[in-house]
Structure 1
Amino acid sequence: MIETVITWKNPTLRERYEVGELIYNNEKYIFKYCCDLTKAIEVGFKGLGEFEDLTKEYIGNELFLTFSTRVPNKKRKDFQKFLEENKIPKTANDLEILMSTRGVLATDTIELFEKIDFEKNEIKSFLVGTRHYITEKTYLDENMEIEVVLESENPQDKFAVYINNQKKEKLGYIPRIYSKKVTEWLGNNKYFAKIEKLLKLDDGKRVEIYISIKK
């Protein structure tokens, strides 16, 4: 099963809202609005594509058009290279492929985040802001141990959580939509954190980092 959270960012306020859930249960695709929908509507959210009924649960055999148009074109010449660079198996379904880009388009502010189950003793997330911190000289290695740092004095997010490598070099942040829950989940518990997956894309010009934290 794949569970994702659909977010929308207000283009003026730059605030991100959780507006829906998209799930693939190994048989069907399921979409429904949830979470911050009411708040998002108050600041300009108009709904998504074919999902006009805000109270309905949508079920389909294939990925809904709103999201399938965000999947990289399988007919493009470099599609095989795209799969290899993103470490996506050939057997991946459309939602798994979509998650590699998180559905980001230049024409809107919709983004998909893989849902984190905070009931478990291990959580996984990708990092945001890596392009601001990582350079050619930054020490990076897949499966290497990393440090999780709480940044309570961050003026934008008092629950901000960032990641350091073994040389205390900042790599990026946990997505803000999860920062408070990650802070609460960590509590005073001891943990082990590592880089789960490291992707160097666009001929090494862009780096994607996925981490895991285990109590």
Structure 2
Amino acid sequence: MSSVLERPVATVATETELLVIWQQPTTRAMIPVGVLGFDGETYTFAYLPNAADIAEFRPLLGFRDFTQSYTSDELFPLFRERVLDPTRPDFSRVIDELSLDPVSATPWEQLVRSGGGSEGDTLQVIPFPRESDGGWACTALVAGMRYLSKKSVRTAAGVVQAYADGEIEDVLRRLAPGQELKIVSEVGNDYNSDAQLLFTDKDELIGYVPDWIAKLMAPGLTAGASGRAIVERVNGAAAGWHLRVLVNLQLDEAFDGVRDRIVATTQSY
């Protein structure tokens, strides 16, 4: 049994759209290429404008036409293969670590919570940002945690040294659902100039905001909007780094224009 902080299974937000993100092989940039939708009965997929013009990008398997809107009564095979097989011995454990009910979790809910990616994968999905009181929000798994013992990071306040062996586990053991984390911009990140880090109120580093969400949040944060992350779930080491901490990211920036920002950024690649 995995080591998990005991709490009720979280209610799954009713996201109806997931942003499909592709990693460019040369630059390793995470680029949005399409939108996967589900209204409770029908699945849809459509490419974002200008996806066909992105360098090195080729049509996804099963979606050859960049101009077509695809529909299906079942989850498309490309995304279905990214959902955990219920017959796997670790199915219940992994679903629980996503803060879902192993008995009732649907394939769509799994994609919403897990991102549908795996180690070395070039494709993932994230919940499309949703409007919230005073701004917009997005649920995501904390990224980059496995690197915290291998590299130091720099913020405007100075350098944060890499964790010694075992230190990050001590920090995670003190983390609890409902706890608020600070969003702090990283300085000098050559891979992602918009990289943002998550810290506790005691300035303990937890990890990164996923790259693409960081790019969405950066303009608002630069303009003075306030951002924060609320811990929803903390899992033990058996979950693997990519499933350790689930957070709800919030920004008090007007929701209008977020979709346009996604399209505009895609057109820049």
Smaller-chain TM-score bracket: 0.7 to 0.9
Q: Give the aligned partner of residue 160 of structure 1.
A: 195
1:103 aligns with 2:116: yes
Q: Distance in 2 between matches of 1:33 and 1:191?
A: 29
Paired residue secondary structure (1:180): helix
Letter in 2 for 1:72: L
CA contact (8 A) 1:70 1:103 kept: yes
Higher RCO (C-alpha under 8 Å, 6+ residues apart):
2
Bigger proportion of residues as helix? 2
1:37 aligns with 2:37: no
Pairs within 5 Å for 1:1-215: 1-35=15-49, 37-40=51-54, 42-43=55-56, 45-89=57-101, 90-105=103-118, 108-117=121-130, 121-126=135-140, 127-133=142-148, 135-138=168-171, 139-151=174-186, 153-186=188-221, 187-190=223-226, 193-200=229-236, 202=238, 207-213=244-250, 215=252
Percent sequence identity over matched residues? 25
Paired residue secondary structure (1:137): helix
Q: Deviations over 1:163-196 (max 9, x none)?
A: 1012201111222222233123343244554213
Could you tell me how far 1:214 is from its partner in structure 2?
5.3
Letter in 1 for 2:104: T
Structure 1 runs of 4+ aligned residues shifted over 6 Å read none
Bigger Cα displacement from structure 2, 66-75 vs 94-103: 94-103
CA contact (8 A) 1:118 1:185 kept: no
TM-score, normalization by structure 1: 0.85
TM-score, normalization by structure 2: 0.69
CA contact (8 A) 1:23 1:31 kept: yes
Q: Distance in 1 between matches of 2:59 and 2:69?
A: 14
Which structure 2 residue ranges, 5 or more long, are not aligned? 1-14, 149-166, 253-269
Paired residue secondary structure (1:197): strand
Q: Distance in 2 between matches of 1:202 and 1:150?
A: 29
Letter in 1 for 2:44: I
Change (3 A) 1:39 1:160: farther
Letter in 2 for 1:48: L
Could you tell me how far 1:128 is from its partner in structure 2?
1.2
Change (3 A) 1:212 1:8: closer
